[in-house]
Chain A
Amino acid sequence: MPSSLFTDRRTATARLTAFTAVVIAVFGTLAVAFWYFQVVEGATYARMAENNHLRRLSVRAPRGVMFDRDGQLLVENRDAFTISILREHSAGLDQTIRRLSTVAGVDEQEIRETIRRHRGEPSYRPITVIDDATLAQVSAVLARRMTHELPGVVVARVPTRRYPSVGLGAHVLGYVGEVGEAQMSADGLRSGSVVGQSGVEKAYNGTLMGSDGERRVMVDSVGREISTLDEVPASEGRRVKLTIDYALQQAAEDAFHALGFEGAAVILDPRNGEVLALVSLPAYDPNDFAAGIDRATWSRLNTDRLRPLQNRAIQGRYSPGSTFKAVVAVAALEEGVITPDFTVTCRGGANFFGRFFQCHLKGGHGTVDLRHAIEKSCNTYFYTVGNMVGVDRINKWATALGLTGRTGIDLPNEGESLVPSTAWKKARTGERWYPGETISVSIGQGQVSVTPLALAAFYGAVGNGGIHYPPRLLKATNDGGGWRPVDQPPPQGVRLKPETIAALHDGLWMVVNGSGTGGRARVAGRDVSGKTGTAQVISLQGGRAAAGRTEMDLRDHGWFAFFAPRDNPEIAGVIFAEHGEHGSSAAPIARHVIETYFAKKEGTAYPVFTPPAVPAPPAAAPPASPAAGERR
């Protein structure tokens, strides 16, 4: 019988019952636990699982391509690779950073710094730590991803700006960069967006930017994309056609380089305000910014004494020197203070308010009328006339022809040009205007300071008979449905009296084609009319000029402002040669641009720039008396 063989069956049975109880309790507990995880907390875990395998990837829209007025490509896009870290999956962020820095050969601190800057953002948003990664970096990272060594490290391909003609027109085109925090909140942009930071890139950022797309992708545990669930495609920014003429821009920059000058140039069409060329030198390479500028380059650009980031053409303010004499002439003629035949006898200077103001020609110009005074740039004549007109009327006519304040060009951070007035001085210093100050103003010195752009606009207005248009760079846009021209802004200015125009045009023509100072800008048959000028460096920089500056730094700046042809001009502009000493050194640059303009217009071969055979005349010693001495 079984019971005889196994007498303690009751003990065993009791203990097996205890087993049964334990088993039921454990299985019951497990069932409850699973119910809790799967049913009660199910939604939470479902979301976590989704975060595991679903990623929203922003697809960056290519920015609009830029062309010059003839369709020559100025800015395009290329594909660049970025390497980003997704903190959501990088709980071992520290280790990931360390490994990534080793694998990609990047400074660990730099990665940490980048992540620190973005620490406030949601963790599912990738933080780009390497812009424009090299192919070696990309393949190194991709290889490590397979082995789960770099969790949460994402490689993406993004369209990136490319400026094919490196540095040409850099200040016009501008550069792009990651959106700043202030900009982000103001324009509702997403962190990491790339926006224009200067130039046309900034001015027309909204037009150029396009809208980013988004891709929802499924990834596996090592971050490999398995499939795309849905995609909102990115739409490219609008294409933009600038008023810039590539050939003229290049001609101007070539001439500057050939002569070894820094400086600025603005060339425009006086008939409509279209800017054909806008130069500021030294320039930078916008490509350096395209995929995020590195720290070293950025600090180099910012600490460079020559300030390559400054757009001298619209931000640099300089005393216009003798080019300002045209303003005094317009004011005097329009106000009826003088006629063109009004004469002054120059004996090398004159006394005003008990002080002697000298002319640049020691022996004097003798008796000159307005035309010859312009041609010879006679200071004595303009001291006299300026004194008769008074500073307020000079200011009035400078303003009427666009030489004060901002021209309104479609570029950011334009500087304000200043032509003083009694009211301005009262408001500024609380002091009254001394008539003696007007004498300096009459030859473009003293408080007068203008941007090359404003001066170009003024000379365009003079060439155009007083009517001018705000300078502009945008000619047309194209959102895929063909080129749509930009509306022409309404004309500004005043129609000048015919005799004013005639006298000015004659005088300015004689500067170039007579025995004046602008002979180097002469182009046979083109009736170039213009005016040289010198902006004094010593008086501008005063005492601090001496310390740590080379002789070159102390040389004056040379101006040449012009329009051509004399009647119904098609082209006007300003050349500003930094430390060019005097205007005649700027004139050859203007000549090269003008020749190029007409060669292009008439379909003949472009000229090759030839520097003047004779070096620029040596500088005269700076005038001794403080407020005196415009030399040409």
Chain B
Amino acid sequence: MIEPGEMFERRLYMHIDWLLLGAVYVLCALGVVMIYSAGGGSRLYLTQLAAIALGTVALLVCLAIDYRSLADRSHLIYGFLILLLVYVLLFGVVRGGGRRWIALPLFNLQPSEFMKIGLALVLAQLFGDGRRRAPNARDMAIGGALSALPLVLIARQPDLGTAATLVPVLLAVAFVAGMRLKVAGILLAVAIVAAPVVWSVALQDYQKGRILTFVNPSRDPLGAGYQQIQARITVGSGGLWGKGFMKGTQGQQGFLPVAHNDFIFSVLAEEQGFVGVLAVLGLYAFVVLRTIETARLARDRLGTMLVVGVLASFTFQVMYNVSMSAGLAPVKGLTLPLMSYGGSSVIATLAGVGLILNVRMRRFTN
């Protein structure tokens, strides 16, 4: 079943989605520009450029190998990533209150970012193996267990934001795979019932605090609420045309914490204004819609599921991060895919893009 390297023939190039690829790299480039601006003269943007280069390699690898071969080995990839997550919990590098990283010579690796791709692969394999029926309770139980294991490991780091991005992967894949709406309804009901339990048992105080603060930012205007208030001010003060490149006062002078990272979109909104926001939102919408089209065009059920799985975490993160950057969602350590500073995030996202291109490119092959 392994597609040999020779199979990556010339004709496949013709089916590469250059438009999607172009949009993705434009977003990456905009990200570098914003990081340069928000970094206030630091060399963060160089690191980001290096990450993009590495991500491009990952993209090419994910593009070159037939996604079906990858799906066949998804259990290995998944298992390897689980081991990494366990390793992180035991020996990971602690930074900013979380044990999330594995120290590597050049940069710190954040396995949880890659877990999104791994989960998408393994769930695609589970729900997309060509069976004609809708997923049954057993499928859902296996899928739930496969999702819950990394989710718990990541949540233990603790990194609730990244853990949460795994949930849409499962839901989206199951949904598109034909999960009965009745089951979806039951899941929703369970979630509603479980929420207070999760609130009192699973959430830590600082996590509760963030949610409470989101509801009422003035509860803690210099702590968690501060970021939310400052994010809104940053975005709002950009106006229609923005303050200009490197001229944002909020991002430049540190009123907005982690501007180059979680709040990169706020920096964009401040410096490039509503016009810039529309352009970037448009690019992201294009990437998402184009990818949905890819899912529709996929040659097989596996391809559809894989694309949907990759897309789910990507879309969830974009929506959440953009909302957060305008103070519309509680502050969580969630990056804006492609634009935010962060090596693992960029590399994993570009690898995911490689998978999407892979599925589309091979829609006519056997």
- Count B-side interface residues using an 8 Å CB cutoff: 51
Establish whether residues B277 and A6, one from each chain, have CB atoms under 8 Å apart when the complex forms. no
Contact residue among B230, B250, B285, B301 (Cβ-Cβ distance under 8 Å from A6) = B301
Does A299 have its Cβ within 8 Å of any Cβ on chain B?
no
User: Quick check: B236 and A11 within 8 Å, CB to CB?
Assistant: no
Q: Cβ of A5 and Cβ of B249 under 8 Å apart?
A: no
Task: Assess the B253–A41 pair: CB atoms within 8 A.
Answer: no
Judged by a CB distance under 8 angstroms, whether A226 is at the interface is: yes
> Which residue of B has the minimal Cβ distance to A22?
B315
State A49–B278 Cα separation when bound (angstroms).
22
Contact with B along A519-532 (1 / 0, CB 8 A): 00000000000000
A23 within 8 A of partner (CB): yes
- Chain B residue with minimal CB distance to A219? B253
Q: Verify B274–A8 contact, CB threshold 8 A.
A: no
Residues A19 and B172 in contact, CB atoms below 8 Å apart = yes
Q: Mark A1-25, 1 if CB is under 8 A from B, else 0.
A: 0100111100111011001100110
Partner of B236, one of A6, A23, A37, A151: A37
A42:B237 contact, CB within 8 angstroms: yes
B301 and A12 form a contact (CB under 8 A): yes
Is A356's beta carbon under 8 Å from chain B? no
A49 and B132 CA atoms in complex are apart in Å by 57
A15-B176, A19-B172, A23-B288 are contacts. A31–B281 as well, Cβ < 8 Å? yes
28 contacts between A and B (CB under 8 A): A2-B299, A5-B130, A12-B295, A12-B296, A16-B295, A16-B296, A19-B172, A23-B285, A24-B289, A27-B281, A27-B288, A30-B319, A33-B328, A34-B277, A37-B232, A37-B326, A39-B274, A45-B232, A45-B235, A46-B237, A46-B239, A48-B236, A49-B236, A53-B255, A219-B253, A220-B253, A220-B254, A222-B254
Answer whether residue B178 sits at the interface, using C-beta atoms and an 8 A cutoff: yes
Interface assignment of B309: CB less than 8 Å from any CB of chain A: no
Q: How far is the CA of A24 from the CA of B286 in the complex (A)?
A: 10
Q: Does A164 interact with chain B (Cβ within 8 Å)?
A: no
Q: How far is the CA of A27 from the CA of B289 in the complex (A)?
A: 11
Closest to B319 in A: A26
Where the two chains meet, the residues of A that have a C-beta atom closer than 8 Å to any C-beta of B are 2, 5-8, 11-13, 15-16, 19-20, 23-24, 26-27, 30-31, 33-35, 37-39, 41-46, 48-50, 52-53, 91-92, 95, 151, 218-222, 226
How distant is the Cα of A7 from the Cα of B284 in the complex, in angstroms?
31
Give B contacts to A, CB under 8 Å. 130, 132, 134, 172, 175-178, 218, 221-222, 230, 232-240, 249-250, 253-255, 269-270, 273-274, 277-278, 281, 284-285, 288-289, 292, 295-296, 299-301, 304, 308, 315, 319, 322-323, 326, 328
Q: How far is the CA of A222 from the CA of B284 in the complex (A)?
A: 34
Chain B: CB-nearest residue to A52: B255
Residues of A within 8 A of B315 (CB): 23
C-alpha gap A482/B178 in the complex (Å): 96
Q: A220 contacts which chain B residues (CB < 8 A)?
A: 253-255
Give the chain B neighbours of A151 by CB distance below 8 A: 222
Q: Is there contact, CB below 8 Å, between A8 and B178?
A: yes
* Smallest Cβ-Cβ distance to B363: which chain A residue: A2
Instruction: Report the minimum CB–CB distance from B178 to chain A (whole Å).
Output: 5
Q: Would you call A38 and B239 a contact (CB within 8 A)?
A: yes
Given A30-B322, A38-B273, A220-B254, CB of A5 within 8 Å of CB of B301: yes
Task: Write out the residue numbers on chain A whose beta carbons fall within 8 Å of the beta carbon of B218.
Answer: 91
Q: Which residue of A lies closest to B226 (CB)?
A: A91
What CA separation (Å) do A271 and B274 show in the bound complex? 80
Bound complex: CA A13 to CA B301 (Å):
11
Contacts of B134 in A (CB 8 A): 8, 11
Contact (Cβ within 8 A) B176 A31: no
Q: How far is the CA of A48 from the CA of B288 in the complex (A)?
A: 34
